[in-house]
């Protein structure tokens, strides 16, 4: 519950989650059941939690000091994931794309997450053509994929639709940006459907609204 609330963005839970993870890491409690190794999911979650709390220096130091504790088979991949997360949160989107490009032979379960990272970076950088090409690639992958469930595919397709529309509006492509009710309709679309990265999408809508009101 605490972790889910932190991911949604509840301030108290964000703070509490980081305090818990910081204690777990700095006191070495994570080693009790892992024979001295660090679980790859805890590794990335620690970076995410620190970034949500604005503790970027702690996150960077954590990666450098603990990446060698990842088992060899996942070390490079999850170190890349951690640096992608850190750079996206810091607003260093080109650096994030650099680490995304280093992710090769990705596990099936992580493929969609990697594409979300890539969508985020392209959106923030205003790379319209690259984002649209990625949307086509993602939809093609889902069409031929046999790993993800029908529900997961549907949720991801809705996310691709939402971020594509948002990018059209941001880059003033087509007639959508001229419609004063477009962002409100897109917000309703996002809120009424289950999809990946929902809170981030809603945040970007609010940012566009704020820019227009200035």
Each residue of 87-126: pLDDT tens digit? Answer: 999 999 999 999 999 988 777 778 888 999 999 999 999 9
Task: Identify the CA nearest to 171 among candidates 135, 196, 208.
Answer: 208
- Residue 25: phi and psi, rounded to 5, are -80, -50
Residue-wise pLDDT for 138-189, tens only, equals 999 888 878 889 999 999 999 999 999 999 999 988 766 677 789 999 999 9
- Looking at residue 9, what is its pLDDT? 40
Residue 211 to residue 208: CA distance in whole angstroms: 5
> What are 69-85's pLDDT values in tens digits?
999 999 999 999 999 99
- Euclidean distance between CA atoms 142 and 152, whole angstroms: 10
The CA distances from residue 52 to 11, 64, 79, 153, in Å, are: 9, 19, 18, 27
What predicted TM-score, i.e. pTM, was given to this entire model? 0.84
Residues 6+ apart with CB under 8 A from 8: 199
Token code pair at residue 67: 């990446």
Q: Tell me the C-alpha distance between 66 and 83, whole Å.
A: 13
Residue 47's alpha-carbon distances to 89, 95, 151, 213, in angstroms, are 10, 16, 28, 34
Find, among 123, 114, 115, 112, the residue nearest to 78 by Cα: 114
Give me the pLDDT at residue 111, please: 84
Helices (H), 91-173: 93-101, 111-125, 128-144, 150-170
- Written as six digits, the tokens of 211 are 């820019």
Structural contact between residues 62 and 23, judged by C-beta atoms closer than 8 angstroms: no
113, 125, 123, 104: which is closest to 85 by C-alpha? 113
Lookup result for tokens 């305090």 = 19
């Amino acid at each position: 519950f605490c972790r889910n609330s932190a991911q949604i963005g509840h301030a108290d839970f964000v703070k509490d989650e980081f305090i818990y993870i910081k204690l777990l890491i700095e006191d070495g409690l994570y080693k009790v059941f892992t024979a001295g190794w660090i679980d790859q999911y805890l590794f990335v979650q620690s970076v995410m939690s620190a970034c949500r709390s604005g503790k970027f220096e702690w996150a960077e130091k954590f990666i450098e000091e603990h990446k060698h504790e990842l088992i060899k088979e996942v070390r490079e991949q999850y170190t890349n994931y951690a640096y992608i997360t850190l750079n996206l949160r810091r607003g260093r989107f080109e650096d994030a794309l650099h680490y995304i490009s280093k992710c090769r032979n990705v596990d099936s379960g992580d493929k969609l997450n990697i594409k979300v990272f890539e969508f985020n970076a392209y959106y923030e950088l205003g790379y319209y053509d690259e984002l649209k090409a990625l949307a086509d690639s993602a939809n093609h992958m889902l069409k031929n994929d046999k790993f993800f469930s029908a529900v997961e595919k549907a949720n991801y397709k809705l996310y691709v639709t939402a971020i594509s529309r948002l990018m059209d509006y941001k880059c003033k492509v087509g007639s959508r940006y001229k419609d004063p009710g477009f962002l409100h309709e897109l917000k309703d679309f996002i809120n009424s459907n289950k999809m990946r990265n929902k809170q981030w999408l809603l945040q970007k809508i609010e940012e566009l609204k704020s820019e227009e009101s200035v």
